[in-house]
Amino acid sequence: MSFYVDISDEEYRKLREKKRQVMKNFNICKKYFKSIKPYVYCDICDTVLEDIEIDKEDIRNGLQTGLYIYKYTHTNPDHDPDDPEDLSHKEHTAQIYIDANYDVRGVRCFFGTELSTKEISEGAKIPIVVKEIPPMSVHLGMLSPAEYKLLQTCDGNNTLSDVAEIMEEPIENVENMIKKLRDKGLVNLILRA
């Protein structure tokens, strides 16, 4: 007999968001000569992921002038099968954003390997890159390094507030950068219906 009550998808999403907000500043990273070992909080497993190791050369090659995005797909072997709120036995992904200093800037967890619309709340503003821009555009002065980093986070997986959190910028600054990039025809802002 179970003492738990099934919850709706909306309640589950709110519960995960609450846990994520509590742990958002936890993410730390040990740096070694050839690799880094990020310790990041997975709001689906409700635990810290400790077995991730990323080669620094991969980060340098993928970083260019923006953020390096590492996807870690996993399941929780210690899930509670009697708890209907514990869905961590299903395959899910922790998307880790790493900057040029090899620091974790943010983590986004979602079921499967790509973010679904169920993970994003209604009314959320989602910036999406319309036109891919090469890193050379920063060197040529067409974009600032901050604008290029912002474009890296506008992958359809992050809301405007997520982008501000990853960029470690006030949301007003991010909105202003998005407006400039929209005027240049590089990014579009959609509203989740």
Average pLDDT over residues 153-165: 81
Residue 1: the pLDDT is: 40
CB atoms within 10 A of CB 133: 19
Residue 175 has pLDDT above 80, yes or no: yes
Contact 125, 182 (CB under 8 A): no
pLDDT, tens digit, for every residue of 94-125? 888 888 888 888 888 888 877 666 666 666 78
Q: What percent of the chain has pLDDT over 90?
A: 9
What CATH code would you report for 120-193?
1.10.10.10
Contact 128, 187 (CB under 8 A): yes
Residue 24: the pLDDT is: 67
Average pLDDT over residues 31-41: 91
Residue 149 has pLDDT above 60, yes or no: yes
Residue 104: the pLDDT is: 86
Residue 3 has pLDDT above 50, yes or no: no
Residue among 182, 175, 188, 190 at smallest CA distance from 122: 190
Kindly list the domain boundaries of the chain, sorted by start residue.
1-119, 120-193
**Non-local CB neighbours of 8 within 8 Å, separated by 6+ positions:** none
More confident residue, 66 or 150: 150
Residue among 143, 144, 123 at smallest CA distance from 10: 123
Alpha carbon distance 154, 74 (integer Å): 24
Task: Share the mean pLDDT of the chain.
Answer: 81
Contact 124, 160 (CB under 8 A): yes
Per-residue HEC secondary structure of the chain comes to CCCCCCCCHHHHHHHHHHHHHHHCCCCEEEECCCEEEEEEEECCCCEEECCCCEEHHHHHHHHCCCCEEEEEEECCCCCCCCCCCCCCCCCEEEEEEECCCCCEEEEEEEECCCCCHHHCCCCCEEEEECCCCCCHHHHCCCCCHHHHHHHHHCECCCCHHHHHHHHCCCHHHHHHHHHHHHHCCCEEEEECC
Q: What percent of the chain has pLDDT over 70?
A: 88
Residue 6: the pLDDT is: 63
Alpha carbon distance 110, 158 (integer Å): 11
More confident residue, 99 or 7: 99
pLDDT, tens digit, for every residue of 67-87? 788 899 999 888 888 887 788
Average pLDDT over residues 43-56: 88
Contact 71, 113 (CB under 8 A): yes
Average pLDDT over residues 44-59: 88
